Structures are given as structure tokens and as C-alpha cells.
Copies of this chain bind each other. A is one copy, B any other.
């Protein structure tokens, strides 16, 4: 803080959903913040693409600019908030800010899931904060608890509903029996889903967040490209009906696990059947939640709004206060060094599986089918038949089995004449 030890002058890069909610929040809360911390936050400069656009926020003359780099390098700016999104120019801007000794707060999951390690190293070298609570699960305090409260906890698994759009769609399908396309259309109408919903429904957005969670939970570098993903576009109302009758809810989960022996980390996003009594099962609509399992702490869950301008701005503000307090004390948070994680492929992971088969109604079908399971070393926990005659459907739930073995089982099943179709294939998590 060059001039005034009590004021921290903020350069805000981006003033869209998040930035636009942050400005009035800082204004409203600055007296409380000053009373509690002795620090006055001042949004001194704001960079956007289009300075002419009306943003519904009042800014003094000359605060708005199109030149984000000039904001970062301005000697009158003490702290930088990046809420532009995307890789470039965010990466270049953050790098410049950190190198100039300015703490940075960002909510940019894409950037962190791809080149986070590079930025963490720059921040460590420069001895300043790079905080990013908003990048995962929006308003939910998750990164700080993982980084600090659980730093000594033997975390065995983290599972999250990390994408509000897909949880909204699955909730509609579950509670109203809607088909995927109908529920997606409703989500688009309400503004929960983009016109091109791929990033959400195919699990890329959740995957980026899962990579960040894995990096923080296990202190080793996991990137977006390491994440296995399956989306929800193939889930049918029928799948959800079967799950429901068996006592489960279908959720899109990001799952992060570490093999206690080898230290290898598995990171995947896929639909999963969660028992109705599991805390994740009652997370409805566009809410997010992250469920943490640890040897000592047992089970934890963090629940809240994973997106939206105001909740995300709340998370950004928490980080800003933290960074401002650290700056005034001449200290900063450290993540420690991040070696590259050994990634465990999906084939090596284990779960229970639901597999449903359309079969022809002929003698010996059940024998042939169960043989395919047995031959691949997959044992069956529960089986039921739905319908009779030509519409007969067999539904199996396995005991915990290796993915590779179950995939081999599915291949064997497909080869059987009596199996007309392998329908639902959903992993069962949290029994």
C-alpha cells in the first residue's frame, strides 16, 4: 500500500455478472469491513471491454477503462481482482500483477484448472496472495476449508455436485418425471443453461472444478485434461425411475480420490446413483454441494449457491479482505509446492454399478447373463426383473467392482445373443 496504510486500492478486471455484483457489495459493506479489519476497500479502477455499456453501477469519472494491463501496472493499484474469465488475457494480467507484488483474487476455474500451478509458483516466488475461493462452487466456502482447516486431515475422497445447471435438470427429471430435452429447455428458458449447453451437460465445467479440488485436497498438480468425464445427456427418465424405485437419486458428481498405497489420484465426473438418505441426495435445483470424507473427520458437506453474480461476489469479497489484511501485515498465504500428481485412470477406480439389460424371453437367459458377470469377477448384489415376455428387462446392482472388470462384463453381455440392449449403466456411489 503505497500511500495510505488504511486504504487498499482495488483494480477490478471485468465488470459482468460477478464484477457488477461486487461493486455495490463492497460499497454496502465497507464500513463493517473497516470496523472489523481497520482496512478501507476502494474500487479505484475497473477494466471492461465496452466502456459505453450501462452496468447499473455508479462509478466516478475515469474509473472505467478498456486497458486492463494499465490497471494492473498502475502504481495506485494495490490489489487486483480478475473476473474476466478465459485463459488469455487473464493469465497475462494475473502474471503481471503478481510479478509487481500485487495480490490477486480470481474466480477463473478455466484458467486455474489449466495453468494454475504456473500461477501458484509465480505467486509464491513473488510472496503475494493468489486466492480463488470463487472458482469452485461459487459462494460456498470450500477452498479455504480445504487449504486450511483440512490441511492435516487424511482426506480419502471428495465428491461434489459442482454444476448447478445439470443439478437443476436432474432435479426436474426426478421430481417431475421430465425427459432430459424438456428439462434442458426449461433450464435454458430460465437462464440456468447456455444456448450451447455442452460445457455444463457434458461435465467439462464440473471437471475443471474437480481438477482444482484435487490439486488442493492432495497438494499435487491435477489439470483439466486429467479428468475423465461423462455427462448427463444420455440419462433418461426411465433410468431415473429405476434408480428411484431402488432408493436412489441420480446426480452428476465430480469425484476425487487418492489411492492410500500409491498416492495416485483419480478424478472423474459422471452421473451417479446416490442413496436417498445420503446428504448429497437432498441437494436440489441449482444448488451445489461438496461432500468430503476423511479418516479422522468422517463426513463433511458444504452446501450453497455454486453460481450467480451475488454469491460469487461474496466469495470474491472474502478473499479480497483476506488478501488486504495479509498485505497490510506483510504476510501471505502459501499453498506449498505442487508436484505433478500421478493420475489413476478410470479403469482402476471402483464403485458399485447398476446395469440394466433388455433381454429376449428365452430359457437360460439369466444363466448366460450371470455367467458374463462371473467370468469377469464381478459379483452381483441385487437383481430384479421388470416386465415379462418380449419387454423383459433385467436390472443388476453389483458389489463394489473395478471399472475395468465391469467394462469387460458389459462387452461380454453385448456379445450374448439373448441380450438385445445394454441400457442404463450408472455407477452407484455412497452406499
How many copies the complex holds: the figure is 2
Whether A148 contacts B297 in the complex (CB less than 8 A), given A314-B153, A329-B331, A331-B329, comes out as no
- CB closest chain-B residue, reference A331: B331
A297 touches B279 (CB 8 A): no
From 7 to 53 in chain A, residues with beta carbon under 8 angstroms from any chain B beta carbon are 21, 25-26, 28-29, 32-33, 35-38
A150 touches B318 (CB 8 A): yes
A304 touches B300 (CB 8 A): yes
Give the complex CA separation of A32 and B296 in angstroms: 15
Interface residues on A, range: 35 or more
From 325 to 343 in chain A, residues with beta carbon under 8 angstroms from any chain B beta carbon are 325, 329, 331, 334, 336
Residues of B near A109 (CB, < 8 A) are none
From 279 to 337 in chain A, residues with beta carbon under 8 angstroms from any chain B beta carbon are 279, 282-284, 287, 294-305, 308, 310-311, 313-315, 317-318, 320-322, 325, 329, 331, 334, 336
Cβ distance A262 to chain B, nearest Cβ, rounded Å: 15
> Of the 9-residue stretches A138-146, A237-245, A417-425, which lies at the interface with chain B?
A138-146
Give the complex CA separation of A152 and B322 in angstroms: 10
Residues of B near A297 (CB, < 8 A) are 139, 304-305, 310-311, 314-315
Cβ distance A77 to chain B, nearest Cβ, rounded Å: 19
CB < 8 Å neighbour of A318 from B28, B148, B219, B331: B148
CB < 8 Å neighbour of A298 from B277, B304, B317: B304
B300 touches A154 (CB 8 A): no
B320 touches A152 (CB 8 A): yes
B145 touches A321 (CB 8 A): no
- CB closest chain-B residue, reference A318: B149
Residues of B near A299 (CB, < 8 A) are 287, 303-305
A133 at the interface (CB under 8 A from B): yes
Give the complex CA separation of A25 and B25 in angstroms: 41
CB < 8 Å neighbour of A310 from B29, B298, B334: B298
Cβ distance A44 to chain B, nearest Cβ, rounded Å: 17
Whether A296 contacts B25 in the complex (CB less than 8 A), given A37-B336, A301-B304, comes out as yes
CB < 8 Å neighbour of A282 from B153, B279, B317: B279
From 373 to 391 in chain A, residues with beta carbon under 8 angstroms from any chain B beta carbon are none
Cβ distance A192 to chain B, nearest Cβ, rounded Å: 15
Q: A252-287 toward B: CB 8 Å interface, digit per residue (1/0)?
A: 000000000000000000000000010100111001
Give the complex CA separation of A352 and B32 in angstroms: 31
Residues of B near A322 (CB, < 8 A) are 148, 151
Residues of B near A314 (CB, < 8 A) are 150, 152-153, 294, 296-297
Residues of B near A304 (CB, < 8 A) are 297-301
B150 touches A219 (CB 8 A): no
A317 touches B28 (CB 8 A): no
B149 touches A144 (CB 8 A): yes
Cβ distance A117 to chain B, nearest Cβ, rounded Å: 15
Whether A318 contacts B152 in the complex (CB less than 8 A), given A297-B311, A311-B297, comes out as yes
Residues of B near A318 (CB, < 8 A) are 148-153
Residues of B near A28 (CB, < 8 A) are 154
Residues of B near A311 (CB, < 8 A) are 296-298
- CB closest chain-B residue, reference A316: B152
Q: A188-208 toward B: CB 8 Å interface, digit per residue (1/0)?
A: 000000000000000000000
Give the complex CA separation of A426 and B282 in angstroms: 25
Give the complex CA separation of A282 and B89 in angstroms: 44
Residues of B near A145 (CB, < 8 A) are 141, 144-145
Give the complex CA separation of A58 and B298 in angstroms: 24
- CB closest chain-B residue, reference A143: B149
Residues of B near A317 (CB, < 8 A) are 152-153, 296
Give the complex CA separation of A150 and B139 in angstroms: 10
Please name 21 pairs of A and B residues whose Cβ atoms are closer than 8 Å in the assembled complex, sorted by A. A21-B296, A32-B152, A141-B149, A148-B318, A149-B315, A150-B318, A152-B317, A152-B318, A153-B314, A277-B282, A279-B282, A279-B283, A287-B299, A295-B310, A296-B314, A297-B314, A298-B308, A299-B303, A300-B302, A301-B301, A302-B302
